[in-house]
Amino acid sequence: MKGQGSAKERAAILIEALPYIRAFFGKTIVIKYGGHAMVDPALKEAFAQDVVLMKYVGINPIIVHGGGPQISRVMERMGIRPVFVEGQRVTDEETMSVVEMVLVGTVNKDIVGLINRHGGRAVGLSGRDGDLIQAEKMKIYRYSGQDRPPEIIDIGRVGKVSRVNPQVLQSLEEGGFIPVIAPVGVGPEGVAYNINADLVAGAVAGELLAEKVIYLTDVAGVCDETGRLIPSLSLQEVEDLLQAGVAKGGMIPKLKSARKALTRGVKKAHIIDGRVPHALILEIFTDQGVGTEIIP
Ligand SMILES: Nc1ncnc2c1ncn2[C@@H]1O[C@H](COP(=O)(O)OP(=O)(O)O)[C@@H](O)[C@H]1O
Ligand SMILES: CC(=O)N[C@@H](CCC(=O)OP(=O)(O)O)C(=O)O
């Protein structure tokens, strides 16, 4: 938000925000904070300020963070080459330790510290805490020609969400805390699974029937085949983009996650540019369309 300017300008900004504050009061908004969006220290500060402001005006923000680039950097330092299949990291046992160490040990605590420094009360969790994110092994099916069964690709300790336990999040909300969730899930035998953070965000939003799920990433939004930003998409158009292969790599789990959340009753999903300072506040409290909105 414009912090400077005359008192009149600042008052005008607040007055403009009022209808949105009223509309979202008491509502849950799930924010996926992508690893690519958390590179610049000034942007990270702005993100933390936005989250704290949301909480102050009576919104219930829940953060699900990524950290893909941060994991890859540590893997490369250890001499392990990161490999992705359809936007999912191939995760063997050794990689799983790195994933947990980086996501739960470093990135999660960094975000929690940042929010708390700005006056919020954040609590960091992994999906293993309180059985928050229950998972099962993900299989990837690849088309292998007409009249042939699809090829099944095993990508190791990668999970998909089977159930979200809302109790932990409800208790934190009652206490006035801001949950910050690392996307590591727990399987039936207590084993940890690496889950794409977009999928966790969509599942959490769906379980809590959130008002919105917002994905902060490193592009302006979803782009068409010519690279132009698409401001609004219906679920059918999302399907078409996925089928046509226009949405690739990291955009695939975002769209699939948004589709799942909306199918479960979440009203809207937004994919917005985390490189823009205060993108969250612009999206929630102003009329400016930022990024791509996805509606049922
Ligand atoms: N149609 C598309 N529109 C926009 N971005 C796309 C599209 N298809 C693939 N992408 C890629 O998706 C990336 C965002 O996903 P990802 O790298 O996983 O980011 P994050 O760390 O924020 O989750 C973009 O940087 C872009 O390269
Ligand atoms: C299975 C899988 O791919 N998990 C992701 C989890 C982190 C993530 O999703 O981070 P971003 O949101 O920054 O991409 C990974 O290992 O990179």
How much distance in Å is there from the Cα of 18 to the middle of ligand 2? 36
Longest dimension (CA), the chain: 69
pLDDT of residue 233: 97
pLDDT digits (tens, 9 = 90+) for 230-255: 999 999 999 999 999 999 988 999 99
Question: Is the distance from the beta carbon of residue 67 to the nearest atom of ligand 1 less than 6 Å?
Answer: no
Q: Which atom of ligand 2 is nearest to the CA of 138?
A: 1
Q: For residue 108, which of 170, 74, 66, 61 has the smallest C-alpha distance? A: 66
Lowest mean pLDDT among 63-67, 82-86, 182-186: 82-86
| Exposure class string for 28-41: b at 16+ Cβ within 10 A, else e | bbbbbbbbbbbeee
C-beta 67 within 6 A of ligand 2: yes
Residues 137-156 have pLDDT tens digits of: 998 888 777 778 888 889 99
Question: With a 6 A CB cut-off, is 249 part of the ligand 1 pocket?
Answer: yes
pLDDT at 1 > cutoff 50: no
CB of residue 158 inside a 6 A radius of ligand 2: yes
- Which amino acid residue places its CA nearest to atom 17 of ligand 2? 68
Structure tokens at 207: 């379980």
Tell how far the Cα of 251 is from the centroid of ligand 1, in angstroms. 4
Domain 25-81+91-120+172-180+195-292: CATH architecture, name and number where available: 3-Layer(aba) Sandwich (3.40)
The pLDDT of 90-95, averaged and rounded, is 97
Helix axes 197-208, 251-263, angle to 10 degrees: 10
Please name the residues in contact with 255: beta carbons below 8 A apart, sequence gap of 6 or more: 222, 238, 241, 242, 247, 294
Domain boundaries, the chain: 25-81+91-120+172-180+195-292
Cβ of 237: how many Cβ atoms within 10 Å? 15
Burial 126-160 (b: 16+ CB within 10 A, else e): bbbbeebbbbebbeeeeeeeeeeeeeeeebbbbbb
Contact yes or no for 187/163 (Cβ under 8 A): no
Residue 274, ligand 2, Cβ within 6 A: no
What is the residue with the minimal CA distance to atom 23 of ligand 1? 34
222 in contact with ligand 1, CB cutoff 6 A: yes
Closest protein CA for atom 16 of ligand 1: 250
